[in-house]
Structures are given as structure tokens and as C-alpha cells.
Structure 1
Amino acid sequence: MDQAVEQTNEEREESPDWHDIGDEPKQPKNNILHYGHSHFWSVDGEVEDQSLWCELPDIIMEQIFSYLNISQRYNASMVCKRWNSAFYLPYVWHVFHFDDHTLTRRRFNYYSGWQHTLDHLRAQLCLGTVGRFFQHLVFTPMANFYNMYEFMNMISFYAEQQDSESCPVRGISRNIKALKYVFPCKYLSGDEEEATQEHPLYGTGGKLLDAVKRLMGNLRNLRSLELTDLMLDNSEASTLLDDVCCECCQTLRILSISNLTKRQCTLLHVGAFINLQILVIGPQNLGEDAIEMLSHTPLKHLHITQTTLTPSTAKSLSPKCWQAVARRSPNLQVHLSLETKSEKALLWQEKAPVNSICVNSPLCKVSFSFLSVRT
């Protein structure tokens, strides 16, 4: 019995699986590439000099890592210690994209099968480690609204608890300068191009809209805000930007609210940002009262955009209104754009200081006679 135990111990000691981490590395197998020391690599047992990728300066490493998603960044950080340190550089996390697979784990649902659900522990560790480096927060169109709702509330909760000593995540909202939120309303309708005609068009609302408003209210240093395809009711849109006007009336420089409502609804909030430079808005949300308020701001570029989702009830402003705007704001430039695959006419703003026209449609044409008559 004792001899059998001694023999088993000897076999374990001779096995390479029992070597300590600090011991010499194992001999690589033939025809397989193995990474050893951070400055060398071995092929077929021969050690040769490695390329100088690990000696790149921080500014280049930041640029390389910024093009990768989170999982790719993690895999790259496992190459060597130098790349692992680059994983935590500030510019790497300058822009944070959140989608269906960000900070999630697979979970089986009896009705829907396997799904990717938000891992709250992993999300907390991410926000606590690199969350203070976020400057641009982007929510891409996704099908899992629960993950988006939970992640928005996590950021809002940590932003509201910044003054608490027990807060595990600090500085998460102070450095965020830009927020982009695109709602997938066209995907939910079942047909991207016929959503406004035959299929019902779904917009955001309810608890998800409350999470968006809560998040915007906690980002007090916003310089750029982009809300696309929310397709709200008029009652919901009238209070959407209340907190943003209170917190960012002086800091906001770029505002994009394309397809914010389903029907005609003038938004006066756009005139409350006294330092606004660029405004992108649909014709259904631009009225004479709003354009008069904008004429008293240093606004330089006004983009009036039309898409497939633009309601047919949208109307142009009166020439008298545009003439008054041109007198009060001589540096204002108006840009008209139309992007659709269906037949739709471009809403021309007569007497407006139009600087450019962009039409992206196979069925719509703009002739020179059309421009000469109206300029």
C-alpha cells in the first residue's frame, strides 16, 4: 500500500500539470506557437526575438484598443503585461457602446430559449474600474429592452450616490459629455419602410422612457445629446427635455432630436439652450415660436431632416417668419435633408437662409427650376 502511494506521488511530481507558476515554462509542442516571456516567443522550441508591438507608446495603444469591443479588448490584454496596462488607459474607454451582448451572460428562458441578460456584477465591476473614463455613451438599437433599462438605471443610481461614502462607483457621470440613444422603432414594426402605412409603429415609452429621462437628468455636463426615432406622443414629448434644460442649458452645444414625435408637436425646449451651436430636428417639431426663440441664440447650423417616419402633416414655416429670423440671426445656416425609399416631397422653407440640400431617395428629384423659383 505504501509503495503504491509513493509511486502515485512520484507520478504527480513528474507531471507538468503540477509545476508552480514561477517554475520554468513547459516545452512547447511541435508546430504550435506559444507565448512565453513578454519580449520573446518560441516556435518548435527555438527562442527568437519578438516584434516591438509591446513597446508601442500609450497614445498608439489607446487608438488600437479604442477600435475593439469589450471582449476583444480583454483578449488583447492577455497578450502581455504591457497590453494589459493599455487596457486601463483613459482614451480606450473614451466611447462606450452598449448593445445586446455588452456585459451580459447567457440565460435560459422557458418561453424564448437562450438569451443574453445583463450581468449586474460584471457591469458594476466595469463601471467601478473604467466608468470614470466614459465621455461618449452610445445606446445602439437593440431588441432586449430589459438590459438597456437596467444599465441606464445603474448609471443613474451611481450618479445620484456620488456624495455617499458607501458608493462603490465614483465619477461615472461627471465626465460624460455626449449621449446617443437610438430607439429601434422600425425594427419592431416588422417592416422598416412601410411602418408608417400598413404596420403599426411602436415608440418608446413607459418605464424605458422614465429611465432615459432619469439618465439625462443625471448627466449634468452634456455637450451633445442625440435622440433618434423615439416616436413619442405629444404629452410625453412635452416634458422629455425638462431636466436637460435645467442642468445643461449652458453646456449643451449639439442637439439632435430626429423623429421625436409621431405627430405635429412644436418643442419650445430647443430655445432654452443659450449656447447651442448645431440643432438637428424634424419639421413636425419645429414651429414659429421655437424658431423665434432660436433666433436669439448663437445657433449656427439648423438641420431640418425628413425621413420615412416623418408624418405627412408636417408643414413648412411661413416666409414672413424666416425673414424675421434672417434679420435677427444673420449667421444662421439652414440645411434641408430628405432620406427615404418611398415617394415623398421635400418640404421647402421659403425665404429661409438655406445653405445646403441633401436628397437621398430613388423616387424624389429636385430640379433647378424648383430651386430658382424658391430662392
Structure 2
Amino acid sequence: VGTHQEAIREDSESEAVVPGESPDCEWARLPQELLLHIFQYLPLLDRAYASQVCRRWNQAFHMPELWRCFEFELNQPASSYLKATHPDLIKQIIKRHSNHLQYVSFKVDSSTESAEAACDILSQLVNCSLKTLGLISTARPSFMEVPKSHFISALTVVFVNSKSLSSLKIDDTPVDDPSLKVLVANNSDTLKLLKMSSCPHVSPAGILCVADQCHGLRELALNYHLLSDELLLALSSEKHVHLEHLRIDVVSENPGQHFHTIKKSSWDAMVRHSPKFNLVMYFFLYEEEFGPFFNEEIPVTHLYFGRSVSKEVLGRVGLHCPRLVELVVCANGLRPLDEELIRIAKHCTQLSAIGLGECEVSCSAFVEFVKMCGRRLSQLSIMEEVLIPDHKYSLDEIHWEVSKHLGRVWFPDMMPTW
């Protein structure tokens, strides 16, 4: 096979059919719409090789529609098992199709070299008008190791030139308040989603700037340390946005870390302003750090516990989370959660999805939980080892009883699905 640059050359003169096929099967005469559909399913390198088949396939390779959605995969072969987008292809794509790119993501490994390569590409997108941009690190530190000035300069190129960004995902990056001001100055009328967890150079003032200027904002994701009563009240103001999703990561970097408390009145203001908004919270805390949480009513709808969480905390969830729709408990310990699960079923009347792993529930309590929730439980992912047989049900019997109350066939999971 020739070089990657040859793979996307524009001057291919061949009108050959695929070797081994009969003359009646002329692949070169496939309708352009069908070719485009096929090319969209091909990995980039295979797509480039296919462009060598004939002139019409090469023309299909360069159709603007094919380049509206693109993912740059950047990694170092010595430290990653992921395939990388070849540099020669990247150069050609930017040269020929930068003005066609609309939905772009960068997937990089943990190496600084990969993150710097992503910044270099961003700096070249001066003719683009992106609608979505995602910077995805498969492992830390990646973008955090890039000199801040280099990253901000590259990102600002996109902010200034796009002017129509609707979705921006920049987790684990050195983005800062001044760069957010550039973002809203150029994209305030179009920005709907901003996801920026683990961005240590952003302050609550930077988030308030976004909330104040981007009236079309519908989804916001950030770390808990950026959440404040002031921000919630700003988001609840009539002249500001109507959020549909607020996603909060509550992450402990060191055991014993202090977390502030959000007032119930601030949450109430959010619910009054946007009654149907979803509050999605991801907790990665040590057990002793849950003190400030779930002591008063909180309008959380989707709750994910990634580390061990105590019976006491889950008991408070059952009392103070009436809007809960989805609950995932990845670990709890060896004390059965019978009472806590029944309390959640009783008070969380909108609960429709639950996942349990590395904890224990007696079979009788689990059946009672399912009976109380009924057929609104659209998702029920329970690891088999969670269920403890008792005097009423064995593991062989429980799936029949649960299936009866769900109105569909159900079995415990062998592997978690969340």
C-alpha cells in the first residue's frame, strides 16, 4: 500500500473495478449517495485506502458531508493501544476540509505530546465554524501538562472563529476565566452545553459569566467546588437560562477533604424556575466526607455513588431525595441495605432505574422493593452476588417473583451494565 498522502491524492486516474470481481459488478458506478453512506462507516485509514480505487471514489472521499463529523485520535504508539490518526491525513484534512468541520472531537492519551499535537491542530482551525468541540483524555494528565498559554491560545482560535458553538466538552483542561469570556463573547447566542469538570483555573465568577451571557444554555457540567448558592440563584433568575441538565461531580482528591453545603433555599429556587430540570450528581467520596450532603431535601434526579457509601447516607437519600429517578450504588460494604432500599421505594416515588453492585440486599427485601416500585422500574441492574438468599426466596426462585412484579422477564446481572 502506498503512503498515507498518496491514499488521499486527488489526481487518481484509475477507473478500475475491484480485482476478483466480474466485469458486471462495476463498483465505480455506485450512486454517490450510497458511496457517501458506505464511507461514513469506514475507519479513517480504510476510507483513505478506498479513495484509491477510482476517481469517483476519490471524489466521494472529498465530499463536504463526509467531514462534518470527525474525531482526531492522537496518541503515542509506545504508550497506547489506541490507533492514531496519521499526521499526513490530518494535514490533508485540515488543508482541504477545515471549513467543512462542524462536529469535532479530540481523543488523546495521557502523554503531553498527544495533547500538544491536539493544540497544534486547534490552532490551525482558523477557517472552521464548529458547532461541537470535545477534548477527551483517555487518561490523566494529558491537557493539564500542556503549557497553559499554549492551550488557551489554541482554544481561543476556535472560540473566535466559530461563532456558532452549541456544545463544548473541555474536562480536565487548563481553560480559565478569561478564555470563557472569549467563548461567550463570540458564541453566547448558540451555546447550549458546557461540560468542564476538573478545570482548576476556572472560578465561580467564570461560570457566572457564562450563565449571565448564554441565555440558551441548557446543560452545564462542573465540579462541586464551583457550585455555590450565588450560582444557583443566578441560574434561577428569570432573565437567565432554563437549564434542563445540571451535572455535578463531587470528587475527593485526598481523604478528609472539606466540602461546603448548598442551602435548601437555593435548590428550591432552581426547582421553581425550572421544575423539570435534571440534577445529576456523581459522588466519588470517602465515607467520612458525606457529612454536608443529604441532610436536607435536595432535588437530585440521577445519583451515582462510585465509591463505598454508608447505610446512613443511603438512608438520608431515601428521606431527602423525592425527585430521584435513577440510583447507582457501586459499593457499600457487607451490611444489608434492606431498610434503606425499602425507604427509597417508599419516598422516591419517581424512581425508575437502579443499579447495585458490591453490596448486599436480602432476597425478601429486594422483592418488596420491586413490588413497591412496580412496573415503573424500567431499568433494574442488580449483580447476582448482591442478593442474599433467605427463608422466603432462593436465587433460583427470585427472578420469577421479580419478573412477575415487573411485568417482564428479569434476571440478575453477571456483569454491571452501568
The two structures have a TM-score, normalised by structure 2, of 0.59
For residue 207 of structure 1, the aligned residue among 150, 159, 166 is: 150
Q: Note the C-alpha offset of 1:67.
A: 3.8
User: Is the Cα contact below 8 Å between 1:306 and 1:338 reproduced in 2?
Assistant: yes
1:305 paired with 2:249, answer yes
Matched residues in 2 for 1:78 and 1:69: separation? 15
Q: What's the counterpart of residue 218 of structure 1?
A: 161
TM-aligned CA distance change 1:262 to 1:315, over 3 Å: farther
CA displacement 1:302-341 (0-9 Å, x = unmatched): 111234659934434111211222223323221112368x
Q: What's the counterpart of residue 287 of structure 1?
A: 228
Q: For residues 85-100 of structure 1, what are the structure 2 equivalents within 5 Å?
A: 85-100=59-74
Matched residues in 1 for 2:260 and 2:146: separation? 22
Q: What's the counterpart of residue 37 of structure 1?
A: 16
Matched residues in 1 for 2:184 and 2:44: separation? 33
Q: What's the counterpart of residue 324 of structure 1?
A: 269
Q: What's the counterpart of residue 254 of structure 1?
A: 193
User: Is the Cα contact below 8 Å between 2:176 and 2:201 reproduced in 1?
Assistant: no
Q: What's the counterpart of residue 331 of structure 2?
A: none
Q: For residues 1-375 of structure 1, what are the structure 2 equivalents within 5 Å?
A: 37-38=16-17, 41-42=19-20, 48-49=22-23, 51=25, 54=28, 56-100=30-74, 125-142=92-109, 143=111, 144=113, 145-155=115-125, 159=126, 172-174=127-129, 176-183=130-137, 186-187=140-141, 205-230=148-173, 232=174, 237-261=176-200, 265=204, 267-271=207-211, 272-296=213-237, 297-307=241-251, 312-338=257-283, 348=293, 350-361=296-307, 363-364=308-309, 368-375=314-321
Matched residues in 1 for 2:101 and 2:198: separation? 27
User: Is the Cα contact below 8 Å between 2:249 and 2:281 reproduced in 1?
Assistant: yes
User: Is the Cα contact below 8 Å between 2:108 and 2:142 reproduced in 1?
Assistant: no
Matched position secondary structure for 2:16: coil
Opposite residue 288 of structure 1, the aligned amino acid is: D
Question: Greater CA deviation, 204-213 or 280-289?
Answer: 204-213
Residue-pair matches, total: 292
User: Is the Cα contact below 8 Å between 1:180 and 1:227 reproduced in 2?
Assistant: yes
Higher helix share: 2
Matched residues in 1 for 2:262 and 2:100: separation? 43
Percentage of matched positions with identical amino acids: 20
The structure with the larger Rg is 1
Matched residues in 2 for 1:179 and 1:369: separation? 40
User: Is the Cα contact below 8 Å between 1:262 and 1:310 reproduced in 2?
Assistant: no
Gaps (5+ residues) in structure 1?
A: 1-20, 23-34, 107-115, 160-171, 190-200
CA displacement 1:99-131 (0-9 Å, x = unmatched): 3369xxx9xxxxxxxxx9996x87554323222
Opposite residue 356 of structure 1, the aligned amino acid is: H
User: Is the Cα contact below 8 Å between 2:176 and 2:202 reproduced in 1?
Assistant: no
Matched residues in 1 for 2:147 and 2:55: separation? 44
User: Is the Cα contact below 8 Å between 1:65 and 1:87 reproduced in 2?
Assistant: yes
User: Is the Cα contact below 8 Å between 2:16 and 2:53 reproduced in 1?
Assistant: no
The two structures have a TM-score, normalised by structure 1, of 0.65
User: Is the Cα contact below 8 Å between 1:322 and 1:352 reproduced in 2?
Assistant: yes
Matched residues in 2 for 1:251 and 1:237: separation? 20
CA displacement 1:276-295 (0-9 Å, x = unmatched): 11111211112122211212
CA displacement 1:66-95 (0-9 Å, x = unmatched): 344433221011123342222122332122
Opposite residue 285 of structure 1, the aligned amino acid is: L
Matched residues in 1 for 2:46 and 2:217: separation? 37
Opposite residue 253 of structure 1, the aligned amino acid is: K
CA displacement 1:29-71 (0-9 Å, x = unmatched): xxxxxx9832x644xxxx7246575555444433432344433
User: Is the Cα contact below 8 Å between 1:66 and 1:93 reproduced in 2?
Assistant: no
User: Is the Cα contact below 8 Å between 1:96 and 1:138 reproduced in 2?
Assistant: yes
Bigger relative CO (Cα 8 Å, ≥ 6 apart): 1
User: Is the Cα contact below 8 Å between 2:287 and 2:310 reproduced in 1?
Assistant: no
Matched residues in 2 for 1:127 and 1:260: separation? 28
User: Is the Cα contact below 8 Å between 1:323 and 1:351 reproduced in 2?
Assistant: no
Opposite residue 39 of structure 2, the aligned amino acid is: F
User: Is the Cα contact below 8 Å between 1:95 and 1:135 reproduced in 2?
Assistant: yes
Matched position secondary structure for 1:337: strand
Matched residues in 1 for 2:139 and 2:261: separation? 25
Matched residues in 1 for 2:62 and 2:97: separation? 7
Q: Note the C-alpha offset of 1:368.
A: 5.0
Q: Note the C-alpha offset of 1:262.
A: 7.0
TM-aligned CA distance change 1:37 to 1:58, over 3 Å: closer
Opposite residue 242 of structure 2, the aligned amino acid is: P
Matched position secondary structure for 1:139: strand
Q: Note the C-alpha offset of 1:204.
A: 5.8
Matched position secondary structure for 2:231: helix
Matched residues in 2 for 1:264 and 1:124: separation? 36
